[in-house]
Structure 1
Amino acid sequence: MPRRPCGQAMAPTEPWSPSPGSAPWDYSGLDDLEELELCPAGDLPYGYVYIPALYLAAFAVGLLGNALVVWLLARRRGPRRLVDTFVLHLAAADLGFVLTLPLWAAAVALGGRWPFGEGLCKLSSFALAGTRCAGALLLAGMSVDRYLAVVKLLEARPLRTPRCALASCCGVWAVALLAGLPTLFYRGLQPLPGGQGSQCGEEPSHAFQGLSLLLLLLTFVLPLVVTLFCYCRISRRLRRPPHVGRARRNSLRIIFAIESTFVGSWLPFSALRAVFHLARLGALPLPCPLLLALRWGLTIATCLAFVNSCANPLIYLLLDRSFRARARDEACGRTGLLARRISSASSLSRDDSSVFWGRAQAANTASASW
């Protein structure tokens, strides 16, 4: 695309396709694409104020909530049920995600400038990519486990073992680490327009854009398809006799809430990122107004996606009576026993147990020290 003098604006209807020399995208949502200088553009008003505040709030809530989930499950006595493994790894993934949020909050507050060096830029970007992928795959694994437990209960019994659950989680982390590797090679410090410092962004390489688009399909779209298939089959099974127990229906409700929150948070970001990658590859020319909408949409979608990292503990707190009791006990510093066995909304493998209070503990209340 031929260059114009700085003072000459691009016609609002002229198609735009990112050139290889355009500035990179950074996770702060405040990147400065070079072509935007030719369009009537600007950042979201006061984004440098409320976006860092939102990131820091998500960091505080996510750090405390996910650490509490990991703490409760890690110190749980007795045999661990299948769902405990998935929930524990999901909380660990969210915990790794929220630890990067203060860095991105600082970058937003500084107008996109990254003050922490290239090493932390690559490491935090790698953590974001890896934990996002791990979260999507772990949720897909949980939906498959629910499908096997509800629809294929007898046939799937050899597959639903603690060894298989742990192996599945280990496989998820291996895939997530591989999916995050491109960020180590293609993300780094890139100069901000006007010589105002450097931002943490990706190289405008066609190879990286194509690879990112492929990874987006494999690590978000494919798990989403698997999840939808499993829950469609589960819904059909729940409408036929014999009916499953009330507690198991409640367990499906809380897992559906977790899945829906994840999809609702990450789907807008993933869809807009796919448009962004296609535009940079030259496959989707954009007029100037759509370019501005894409930039603002990505900023808002990034905030929504990042806030998801603190959502799961809040869902447990709202829907899981046992988790509320355990959280209250930990907050008050009590190590006494729960007064009674609580049927939990998050029970995933037994009708009268909870993610945080299982049948093994209820049968062994004399020695449990929750």
Structure 2
Amino acid sequence: MPGTEPWSPNPGTAFWDYSGSGSGALEELEVCPSWDLPYSYAYIPTLYLAAFTVGLLGNTFVVWLLARRRGPRRLVDTFVLHLAAADLGFVLTLPLWAAAVARGGLWPFGQGLCKLSSFTLAATRCAGALLLAGMSVDRYLAVVKLLDARPLRTPRCALAVCGGVWAVALLAGLPSLAYRGLQPLPGGRGSQCGEEPSDAFQGLSLLLLLLTFVLPLGITLCCYCLISRRLHRAPHLGRARRTSLRLIFAVESAFVGSWLPFSALRAVFHLARLGVLPLPCHLLLALRWGLTLTTCLAFVNSCANPIIYLLLDRSFRAQVRRQACGCTRRGARRISSASSLTRDHSSLFRSGTYS
């Protein structure tokens, strides 16, 4: 995703135009030979399908776990629910990209699915970044501002924020609908799902990268710095809230660690395509290989959150075991999460008031 759209690696020997001129400039275009990483046609589809399987099961379970709740829901639950829905939308596109990579970059699903899957990846990645920023702001208000923030920390405000996030995410995905489509592969081997070589698209993608990744990342880091200062000054906040914060911090760290390398390389790619950052061919080849690897890392993040919950949240593990063993009883109390079963109040998923 250059900012908001996916990078689609195209296996096989090809030639890239890195001049950045897609507007009919008269200067001679620099053409560089390009090769894919060895055996990428095998391990990349395998990785995508593994992420699809884990992400589909894990995020579906999280959505079901929180959506089945009866009664009041904590504000953080709302963000977690929407985040899982965004990841679920993301993983549903992975089999399409896996099939394309396995076929040497050939896209066999037509123009419509190319645009739709590109739009879905763009919108859900943007939604994930903004939801995590919203979650950080909510935790900042809950820990630092406390009673002063009560008018802002209501279920209606949380739903309004999530609605606004999805509206922005859908808008951020529109360039993918407009500028991504079937592009001819070298040698007349068919078409790939790729972006048009347009300067306007490169500039817009760079701007969206700043607004939908760098800005939310800055907000998140600022909030956690302020939260950290507050925790050092007020150790009485308690183990439960600290544990919940560590779990949320792990989720956000996984997102940043997965998407930051990709976003940095995509920014370099946009600058190279625009001609602002001329690069020799050997660096351009290294950039392409780096984007291939960081794309895999970024895509795998779509299945990371349920794994984090499973590793760090004892109550979530208890609920998974109960569902896996078919031990849930119809006559049991209505619950929103595993924490209601185990009474583990340090769980991110525990039921209770809007705290």
Answer yes or no: same fold by TM over 0.5. yes
Aligned to 1:288: 281
The 2-side partners of 1:340 and 1:300 are apart by 40
The 2-side partners of 1:27 and 1:339 are apart by 43
Q: How many residues align?
A: 327
Aligned to 2:59: 66
Aligned to 1:28: 8
Once the two structures are TM-superposed, the CA of residue 242 in structure 1 deviates from its matched residue by 5.1
Structure 1 residues 262-282: Cα deviation after superposition (integer angstroms, max 9, x where no partner) = 000000110011111111111
Pair 1:267-2:260 in alignment: yes
* Cα distance change of structure 1 residues 26 and 252 upon mapping to structure 2, 3 Å threshold: closer
- Superposition map of 1:222-233 within 5 A: 222-233=215-226
The 1-side partners of 2:32 and 2:175 are apart by 31
Aligned to 1:239: 232
Aligned to 1:344: 346
Pair 1:322-2:324 in alignment: no
RMSD across aligned positions (CA): 1.6
The 2-side partners of 1:182 and 1:33 are apart by 25
CA contact (8 A) 1:30 1:299 kept: no
CA contact (8 A) 2:239 2:346 kept: no
- Which of residues 246, 255, 276 is equivalent to 2:248? 255
Structure with greater helix share of residues: 2
Structure 2 regions of 5+ residues with no counterpart?
Answer: 19-29, 333-339
Over alpha carbons, which structure has the higher Rg? 1
Pair 1:147-2:140 in alignment: yes
Aligned to 2:199: 206
Structure 1 residues 112-166: Cα deviation after superposition (integer angstroms, max 9, x where no partner) = 1100000000000000000000000000000000000000111111000000000
Once the two structures are TM-superposed, the CA of residue 26 in structure 1 deviates from its matched residue by 6.6
Structure 1 regions of 5+ residues with no counterpart?
Answer: 1-24, 347-354, 361-370
SS in 1 for 2:128: helix
Once the two structures are TM-superposed, the CA of residue 40 in structure 1 deviates from its matched residue by 5.5
The 2-side partners of 1:339 and 1:241 are apart by 30
Aligned to 2:24: none
SS in 2 for 1:158: coil
Q: What percentage of aligned pairs have identical amino acids?
A: 80
- Superposition map of 1:105-184 within 5 A: 105-184=98-177
The 2-side partners of 1:324 and 1:34 are apart by 47
Give the letter for the 1:34 counterpart: W
With structure 2 as the length reference, what TM-score do the two structures score? 0.89
The 2-side partners of 1:310 and 1:329 are apart by 21
The 1-side partners of 2:228 and 2:323 are apart by 36
Once the two structures are TM-superposed, the CA of residue 35 in structure 1 deviates from its matched residue by 4.3
